[in-house]
Amino acid sequence: MTRKTKIICTLGPASESEATLAEMIRAGANVFRLNMSHATHEWVSGIVPRIRKVAAELGRFVAILMDTQGPAIRTGDLETKLDLKPGDIIELTVRGEKSEELYSVDVNYDGLIDDISVGDTVLVDNGVIHLKVLEKRHRRIRCEVLTPGTMGSRRHINLPGVKVNLPPLTAKDLEDVALGARLGVDYVALSFCREPGDVDLLRRVLGEHGSKAQIVAKIEDQVAMSNIQEIIETTDVIMVARGDLGIECAMEEMPIIQRRIVKLCLRYGRPVIVATHMLESMIQNPVPTRAEVTDVANAVFEEADAIMLSGETTIGKYPVSCVRVLDKVARRIEKSGGAGYARDAIYRKDRQKTVHSATVLAATLERSKMMIFTRSGGMANYVSAQRPRDTEIFAFASTEEVCRRIALNWGILPILMPFDPNPDKMIRTAEILLREQKRIEPGDNLVIISDLLAEEKRFDSIQVRPVT
């Protein structure tokens, strides 16, 4: 059987060549991520057609995910790095305010002075340096250093539990989204998504550009977690972005938060991605740590739709090996079973209930395989959300765009095929295609979800056809 958990790879200097892209696709990559925190428009304009070309040559459907930078708060430029020790005083300044303290650094967000409060914790450089706010003086924030560290220029700032009044999309994000729409990317990720309205805004922007790209809401802070159910119901896909989320939340809470998000996504039928630090040691080393293998295994066991590589495939020494490791671990864990969170799924639409009946039926048949026909990807998502463990799912779509879009869904194998107005003829054509590809053989039972034509009206139907 094909691997059900999908693999997302971030592209960069280590993986941008046609040869490496081809190797990664052969190794099992399903989606390529473009990180707009580092990518230029020139680079993106070149890499997107390159991905399409390589995927077409290999006969694979590979989706492209554009990941916006989002409203990040960063320190400014420093002439020399600051060596900070516990007890030192440092001032964070805004709007070019001058400080008389020995240690000070400007911050790129003018509203920080209004959002932050005395007693709040400020985390700098991925949480390495901890600061405690002692006092606010006009445009200066006086802080005590709690942990030792060296502060460099343009370091990322996290504010656990603080709701900042930054816009969901910056001017840079809007320019990047416009580029992605022109190039036809399949997914756009919304960084630092905090509430459902953020998703609505991005959807309006995509609509203005005529893009059908689906939205990936990245869960990265405590504010998002307080709105998690509403965000899940509003967006198309959820990403558990464990980098910033792991800084914003207590480390011992991170596994529980991940599990909670995956459970909720499966309950509401939303694809979910687990991302960040999956094989971090393989940036330098040819093999992963045992802890990393267990982390990957947990995400697969929880039945996340996809697992994602970041630095491992952008700047790492072994990008293709990383994909092979994820593929190998995922295949093994899938054989051992899953957490079964889909058992608590909520079915609100008639089509979801139809799909549920079909997956239950498939589970009772020996050698069952599912055939579905999807015009927009919705039916494929419904089937995938059921997590039919022992059944292969063949999803037929009439456009490459839809085939790429459903490449991220758990368990779905996209197949391009022109649709026929006659449902029965369309099913026969699909069965012939599967025979030619050696994906079915005599003795298999096909559970088919399709249209049924009756008196010039179309209805959803479930059929069982044995392969003879």
Q: How far apart are CA 147 and CA 127, in angstroms?
A: 10
Residue 413 bridge partners (DSSP): 394
Task: Write down the pTM of the prediction.
Answer: 0.94
The per-residue pLDDT for 454 is 57
**Structure confidence at residue 230 (pLDDT):** 98
- Set out the domains of the chain in order of their start, with CATH numbers: 6-70+168-333 (3.20.20.60), 73-158 (2.40.33.10), 347-466 (3.40.1380.20)
CA distance 288 to 274: 17
What's the pLDDT at 119?
96
| Contact residues for 101 (Cβ-Cβ < 8 A; gap 6+) | 89, 90, 91, 142
pLDDT value, residue 1: 66
Residues carrying an active site annotation = 33, 74, 218, 276
* pLDDT (0 to 100) of residue 456: 66
> Angle at the Cα of 371 (from 370 to 372), degrees rounded to 5?
120
Cα–Cα distance for residue pair 266/268, rounded to 1 Å: 5
- Per the CB < 8 A criterion, the answer to whether 13 and 313 are in contact is no
Q: What percent of the chain has pLDDT over 70?
A: 98
Q: How confident is the model at residue 453, as a pLDDT?
A: 57
User: What's the order of all strands across the beta sheet hosting 156-158?
Assistant: 73-74, 156-158, 121-124, 129-137, 140-145, 89-93, 103-106
pLDDT of residue 455: 58
CB atoms within 10 A of CB 17: 12
Closest CA to 91 of 54, 142, 40, 51: 142
For residue 243, report the phi and psi dihedrals to the nearest 5 degrees.
-65, -70
pLDDT at residue 97, as a whole number: 86
Q: What strands lie across the sheet with 457-466, from one edge to the other?
A: 412-416, 392-397, 368-373, 445-454, 457-466
Please list the rounded mean pLDDT of every run of 10 residues in the chain (468 residues): 94 98 98 96 98 98 97 91 97 90 93 94 93 94 97 92 90 97 98 97 98 97 95 98 91 96 98 97 98 98 98 97 98 96 94 94 96 93 95 96 97 95 90 96 94 66 93
